[in-house]
């Protein structure tokens, strides 16, 4: 299989400048027992897979430099997982039959500069092109796919270099980078983990936390995403600091002092192993216990970190990890490593020396007091982390990554159908965006004695499930810092007690606040501050809501009862007058001024007294429409009758003049028609009002804060004032006519009493308007009832009581002669 790569000399010039500019210092601090032209592990094959791993790089304080001490042994185990998968595929008769896989594995020491060099070597077989040349690069690439490093920074550097060559890169931490546009793919998965970390923190009620991060892409991007997600969940960061393994010790000491003086008890650590190792070494002299650590997958299941934590600083730590998996045969493959020809590969020899604390005769190791390595040492007897398979999940990702690449080649060369399973039926799949599924275990550190930590899986996150079921925690007993079974508390301010609300402290995050008593109309309970519905009010303690008392003019209260009594008294009084008039209906005083109008007037006054009762009681849709229309129509009927009686008086005087024939134009029929016409006009006004915008029951929340005023809204104010205005117009006309007839020479002139009654009527309703507008709530209703009763009593008393007085007490005046008698006209 031949892959030809082309690159311009400008591209090579830039890459060479990059390598030269950043590699000089790194070359002085990270030495290999081999060089870039010679991979640490290699094997020929028809298809070559590249491997880029950081097998060395650790901090040595005294020299302030990198050394070639091996990283944790799981890094070597990861390379072994790649070799195991390749060997398994080569032995398979179903996958890539007749085609062998080879490999070239390089060690980058965690250096980005060396990562660039390795990527260039793998991309173009170490060919060095002249800077000033128009000749394209024609040598085929060494490898057809690369298993990438763990670190995000080096992965992106590698992706940038190999992207133009279309060489896919697979990261062992769930990331696939298949072309240059996918350089930042690893950050997609980092986003999932960071957001889940924030959900985990919120689940335990920790809202006030500190944050540490590695000063690289992994830590900085991860913390940026966590901070954004945390803000949405109401989590605040007291501090957020970064450091790198090359930082001076003084900076680390400042960070530790800041952590010791902070008030937050939860520490979010987005750290890779080298930074975590450095931090633990600096924390060991301090009594830094009692803090809750939330870790990233960079260290949360690292057994060497647990072994170094002799002061129990990390007890109870919790964090995310790649789901555990088992690769059948991998443990046996690793333990079956034989020391044959070890010295032919210096990296394997160094690994063997590190495992058994020995050295070969040919070794360049300068460590003293070491026994000689025989090559016959037994790996299965080791008690070190090399035989600890707790990181099998990461090894499984490498294993699946190799199989994913193998299936891609198989589909291209042999298979025309979907081939998505490896040798152990583990499904390997990616979504439509090329992203692997987001699935993580929630790991909890539980010390079991003698410095041994049990990494217990206490929950699971699965992004493929519905949103409400993605995060699940098992009902397991969690052991927190200092062997406490109580979930640690980490808040800036304690939760406000019921009846109080939060007030933010000036210049501090939203998680820091003071608690003050809730305002009127607000309550706070276990769910937080509640703005009440307008129909409810807060109790005295401001921790519960009570329904507002509804206020309206009821029959039960004193004012309502008095007005009801007055209305009934007026009704009874009118009935008595009507009875008296009926009993003496043939007497001159009753017959003198159209008895029909008198009885109709008494009937209308009865309705006026009774309509006031519609204003009392709980307003309803029907009562609101009835009270104003009944009041308007009955009063117009009443005033029409009074107006008719007044016109009869005037016409009677005109008829007594010689030659006058006026009474034939205003006889009983015309009087009835006039009353009917005036009343029908009011009926039409009321019908229009009810049709266009009728009165309706209304709850007034504004007048009194802690009460609801039930009242009848007018609907159309124009309709209301049209009804009142028409009554006022008739009353004014009646008053003018009565005033003109007040000095007529009859012994019993009805116009005098009508004038006085109209004067009372107008005075009452003129004073009613400002009183009605300014009275609050039910008092405005009482004012209107009072105006109705006062004007009704005024008409009843002024017009009918003097006649009843004569009928009952002065019957001698109730004669036709006396009624027809003429008196001298007064000239006052």
Q: Where residue 254 sits, what CATH number does that domain have?
A: 3.40.50.2300
Same domain, 598 and 726: yes
Which CATH number goes with the domain that contains 61? 3.40.50
Task: List the one residue out of 198, 57, 69, 46 whose CA is nearest residue 114.
Answer: 57
What end-to-end distance do the CA atoms of the chain give, in Å?
Answer: 136
Same domain, 300 and 443: yes
Looking at mean pLDDT, say which of 197-206, 371-380, 747-756 comes out highest.
197-206
Strand partners, 442: 320, 459
Same domain, 542 and 573: no
Q: Pick the residue with more confidence: 49 or 298? A: 49
Between vectors from CA 557 to CA 552 and to CA 559, what angle results, nearest 5°? 85
Strand residues in 383-542 grouped as ranges (E): 439-449, 452-462, 471-473, 500-504, 513-517, 522-525, 528-531, 536-538
* Residue 353: C-alpha distances to residues 129, 346, 362, 557 (Å): 39, 10, 12, 101
| pLDDT over 90 percentage in the chain | 13
> Is residue 638 one of the residues assigned to a domain?
yes
> Is residue 792 one of the residues assigned to a domain?
no
Tokens of 425: 């039926």
Please give the Cα distance from 373 to 379 (Å, whole number).
Answer: 13
- Out of 447-451, 635-639, 811-815, pick the least confident: 447-451
Q: Judge whether 96 and 103 are in contact, CB under 8 Å.
A: no
In the predicted structure, residue 801 carries a pLDDT above the cut 50: yes
* Residue 306: C-alpha distances to residues 219, 313, 600 (Å): 21, 10, 106
Please give the Cα distance from 578 to 668 (Å, whole number).
Answer: 20
Strand residues in 130-261 grouped as ranges (E): 145-147, 169-171, 175-177, 208-214, 236-243
Domain end point (choices 713, 747, 781): 747
Tokens of 732: 């004014």
DSSP string, 416-427: -S---B-TT--B
Q: Judge whether 130 and 89 are in contact, CB under 8 Å.
A: no
Strand partners, 537: 546
* Residue 583: C-alpha distances to residues 66, 381, 590, 594, 642 (Å): 128, 131, 10, 16, 22
Domain end point (choices 413, 428, 449): 413
Task: List the one residue out of 642, 654, 611 whose CA is nearest residue 756.
Answer: 642
Strand partners, 699: 710
Determine the pLDDT at residue 266: 94
DSSP string, 748-770: S-HHHHHHHHHHHHHHHHHHHHH
Confidence tier at 181 by pLDDT (50, 70, 90): very low
Same domain, 309 and 458: yes
Confidence tier at 820 by pLDDT (50, 70, 90): low
Please give the Cα distance from 425 to 94 (Å, whole number).
Answer: 13
Please give the Cα distance from 227 to 208 (Å, whole number).
Answer: 12
Confidence tier at 241 by pLDDT (50, 70, 90): very high
- Out of 50-59, 384-393, 492-501, pick the least confident: 384-393
Determine the pLDDT at residue 35: 45
In the predicted structure, residue 366 carries a pLDDT above the cut 90: no
Q: Pick the residue with more confidence: 741 or 229? A: 229
Confidence tier at 116 by pLDDT (50, 70, 90): confident
Tokens of 785: 């009832």
Tokens of 778: 């039910």
Tell me: the pLDDT tens digits for 413-430?
A: 765 544 445 555 555 555
Q: Pick the residue with more confidence: 10 or 197? A: 197
Confidence tier at 36 by pLDDT (50, 70, 90): very low
Same domain, 541 and 624: no
Please give the Cα distance from 271 to 298 (Å, whole number).
Answer: 6
Same domain, 453 and 511: no
- Residue 47's φ and ψ, nearest 5 degrees, are -120, 125
Confidence tier at 755 by pLDDT (50, 70, 90): confident
Same domain, 129 and 154: yes
Q: Average pLDDT of 548-554?
A: 87
Please, which residues have CB within 8 angstroms of residue 703's CB and are 6 or more apart in sequence?
709, 776, 777
State the chain's mean pLDDT as an integer. Answer: 76
Tell me: the pLDDT tens digits for 557-598?
A: 899 899 999 999 999 999 999 999 888 888 888 877 667 888
In the predicted structure, residue 18 carries a pLDDT above the cut 50: no
In the predicted structure, residue 242 carries a pLDDT above the cut 90: yes
Confidence tier at 809 by pLDDT (50, 70, 90): confident
> Is residue 371 one of the residues assigned to a domain?
no
Task: List the one residue out of 180, 52, 186 whose CA is nearest residue 112.
Answer: 52
> Is residue 351 one of the residues assigned to a domain?
no
Please give the Cα distance from 474 to 364 (Å, whole number).
Answer: 51
Determine the pLDDT at residue 243: 93
Q: Pick the residue with more confidence: 333 or 234? A: 234
In the predicted structure, residue 446 carries a pLDDT above the cut 90: no
Q: Judge whether 145 and 49 are in contact, CB under 8 Å.
A: yes
- Out of 389-398, 448-457, 659-668, 819-828, pick the least confident: 819-828
Q: Judge whether 256 and 286 are in contact, CB under 8 Å.
A: yes
Please give the Cα distance from 795 to 638 (Å, whole number).
Answer: 9
Strand partners, 52: 106
Residues 706-722, buried b or exposed e (16+ Cβ, 10 A)?
eebbbbbbbbbeebbeb
Task: List the one residue out of 215, 253, 221, 256 whose CA is nearest residue 239.
Answer: 256
DSSP helix/strand/coil, 742: coil
> Is residue 805 one of the residues assigned to a domain?
no
> Is residue 813 one of the residues assigned to a domain?
no
Please give the Cα distance from 459 to 471 (Å, whole number).
Answer: 8
Same domain, 576 and 697: yes
Count up the domains in the chain and report the number. 4
Q: Average pLDDT of 345-366?
A: 72
Same domain, 454 and 310: yes
- Residue 249's φ and ψ, nearest 5 degrees, are -65, -30
* Residue 219: C-alpha distances to residues 190, 271, 574, 608 (Å): 10, 6, 95, 86
> Is residue 362 one of the residues assigned to a domain?
no
In the DSSP assignment, the letter for residue 813 is: G
Greatest distance between any 2 Cα atoms in the chain: 162
> Is residue 763 one of the residues assigned to a domain?
no
Please give the Cα distance from 725 to 287 (Å, whole number).
Answer: 90
In the predicted structure, residue 59 carries a pLDDT above the cut 50: no
Would the CA dihedral through 642, 648, 650, 653 be positive or negative? negative
Please give the Cα distance from 359 to 375 (Å, whole number).
Answer: 10
Q: Judge whether 566 and 560 are in contact, CB under 8 Å.
A: no
Same domain, 168 and 233: no
Task: List the one residue out of 190, 234, 237, 187 whose CA is nearest residue 209.
Answer: 237
Structural domain boundaries, residue 541:
500-547
Determine the pLDDT at residue 657: 52
Which CATH number goes with the domain that contains 717? 1.20.1070.10
Tokens of 59: 């901090």
Q: Average pLDDT of 325-340?
A: 72
Determine the pLDDT at residue 2: 34
Task: List the one residue out of 300, 291, 2, 255 whose CA is nearest residue 125.
Answer: 2
Determine the pLDDT at residue 119: 79
Same domain, 288 and 316: yes
Task: List the one residue out of 119, 112, 55, 109 whose CA is nearest residue 82.
Answer: 55
| pLDDT over 70 percentage in the chain | 74
Would the CA dihedral through 620, 622, 624, 626 be positive or negative? negative
Please, which residues have CB within 8 angstroms of residue 108's CB and are 6 or more apart in sequence?
52, 53, 54, 114, 115, 118, 149, 154
Same domain, 125 and 50: yes
Confidence tier at 827 by pLDDT (50, 70, 90): very low
Residues 629-649, buried b or exposed e (16+ Cβ, 10 A)?
bbbbbbbbbbbbbbbbbbbbb
Task: List the one residue out of 265, 264, 262 whose CA is nearest residue 291.
Answer: 265
Determine the pLDDT at residue 174: 43
Please, which residues have CB within 8 angstroms of residue 784's CB and are 6 or more apart in sequence?
615, 768, 772
Task: List the one residue out of 711, 706, 766, 712 whose CA is nearest residue 735.
Answer: 766
Q: How many CB atoms lie within 10 A of CB 214?
A: 29
């Amino acid at each position: 299989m031949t892959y030809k790569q082309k690159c311009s000399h400008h591209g090579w010039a830039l890459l060479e400048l990059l390598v030269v500019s950043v590699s000089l210092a790194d070359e002085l601090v990270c030495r290999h027992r081999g060089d870039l032209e010679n991979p640490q592990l290699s094997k020929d094959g028809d298809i070559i897979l590249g491997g880029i791993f950081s097998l060395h790089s650790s901090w040595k304080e005294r020299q302030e430099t990198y050394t070639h001490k091996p990283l944790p042994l799981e890094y070597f185990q990861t390379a072994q997982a790649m070799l195991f998968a390749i060997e398994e595929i080569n032995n398979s008769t179903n996958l890539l039959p007749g085609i062998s896989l080879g490999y070239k594995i390089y060690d980058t020491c965690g250096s980005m500069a060396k990562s660039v060099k390795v990527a260039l070597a793998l991309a173009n077989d170490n060919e060095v092109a002249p800077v000033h040349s128009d000749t394209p690069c024609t040598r085929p690439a060494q490898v057809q796919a690369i298993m990438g490093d763990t670190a995000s920074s080096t992965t992106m550097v590698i992706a940038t270099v190999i992207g133009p060559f279309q060489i896919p890169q697979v990261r062992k931490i769930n990331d696939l980078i298949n072309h240059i546009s996918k350089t930042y793919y690893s950050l997609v998965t980092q986003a999932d983990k960071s957001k889940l970390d924030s959900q985990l923190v919120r689940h335990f009620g920790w809202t006030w936390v500190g944050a540490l991060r590695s000063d690289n892409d992994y830590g900085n991007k991860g913390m940026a995403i966590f901070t954004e997600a945390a803000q949405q969940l109401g989590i605040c960061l007291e501090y957020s600091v970064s450091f790198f393994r090359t930082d001076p010790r003084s900076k680390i000491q400042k960070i530790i002092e800041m952590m010791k003086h902070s008030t937050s008890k939860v520490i979010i650590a987005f750290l890779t192993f080298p930074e975590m190792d450095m931090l633990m070494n600096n924390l060991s002299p301090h009594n830094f216990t009692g803090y809750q650590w939330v870790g990233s997958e960079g260290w949360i299941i690292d057994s060497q970190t647990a072994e170094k934590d002799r002061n129990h600083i990390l007890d109870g730590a919790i964090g995310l990890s790649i789901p555990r998996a088992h690769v059948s045969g991998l443990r046996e493959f690793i333990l079956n490593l034989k020391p044959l020809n070890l010295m032919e590969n210096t990296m394997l020899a160094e690994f063997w020396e590190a495992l058994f604390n020995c050295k070969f005769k040919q070794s360049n190791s300068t460590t003293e007091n070491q026994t000689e390595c025989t090559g016959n040492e037994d790996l299965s007897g080791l008690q070190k982390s090399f035989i600890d398979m707790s990181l099998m999940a990461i090894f499984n990702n490498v294993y699946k990554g190799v199989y994913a690449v193998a299936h891609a080649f198989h589909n291209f060369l042999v298979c025309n159908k979907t081939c998505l399973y490896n040798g152990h039926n583990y499904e390997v799949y990616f979504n439509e965006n090329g992203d692997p599924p987001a699935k993580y275990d929630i790991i909890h550190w539980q010390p079991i004695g003698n410095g041994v930590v049990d990494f217990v899986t206490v929950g699971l996150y699965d992004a493929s499930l519905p949103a409400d079921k993605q995060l699940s925690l098992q009902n397991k007993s969690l052991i927190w810092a200092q062997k406490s079974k109580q979930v640690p508390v980490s808040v800036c301010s304690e939760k406000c007690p019921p009846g109080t609300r939060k007030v933010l402290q000036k210049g501090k995050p939203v998680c820091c606040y003071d608690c003050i008593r809730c305002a009127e109309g607000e309550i706070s309970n276990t769910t937080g501050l509640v703005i009440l519905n307008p129909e409810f009010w807060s109790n005295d303690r401001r921790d519960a809501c009570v329904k507002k008392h509804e206020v309206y003019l009821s029959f039960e209260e004193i004012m309502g009862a008095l007005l009801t009594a007055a209305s009934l008294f007026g009704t009874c009084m009118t009935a008595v007058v009507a009875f008296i008039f009926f009993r003496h209906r043939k007497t001159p005083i009753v017959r003198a001024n159209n008895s029909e109008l008198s009885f109709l007037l008494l009937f209308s006054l009865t309705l006026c007294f009774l309509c006031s009762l519609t204003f009392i009681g709980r307003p309803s849709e029907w009562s609101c429409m009835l009270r104003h229309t009944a009041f308007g129509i009955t009063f117009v009927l009443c005033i029409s009758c009074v107006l008719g009686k007044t016109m009869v008086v005037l016409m009677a005087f005109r008829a007594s003049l010689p030659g006058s024939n006026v009474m034939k134009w205003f006889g009983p029929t015309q009087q009835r028609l006039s009353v009917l016409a005036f009343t029908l006009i009011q009926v039409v006004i009321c019908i229009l009002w009810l049709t266009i915008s009728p009165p309706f029951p209304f709850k007034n929340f504004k007048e009194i804060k802690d009460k609801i005023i039930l009242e009848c809204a007018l609907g159309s104010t124009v309709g209301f004032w049209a009804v009142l205005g028409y009554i006022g117009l008739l009353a004014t006309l009646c008053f003018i006519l009565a005033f003109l007839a007040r000095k007529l020479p009859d012994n019993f002139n009805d116009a005098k009493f009508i004038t006085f009654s109209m004067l009372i009527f107008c005075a009452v309703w003129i004073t009613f308007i400002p009183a009605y507008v300014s009275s609050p709530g039910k008092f405005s209703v009482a004012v209107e009832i009072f105006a109705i009763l006062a004007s009704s009593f005024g008409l009843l008393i002024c017009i009918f009581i003097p006649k009843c007085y004569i009928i009952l007490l002065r019957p001698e005046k109730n004669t036709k002669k006396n009624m027809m008698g003429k008196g001298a006209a007064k000239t006052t």
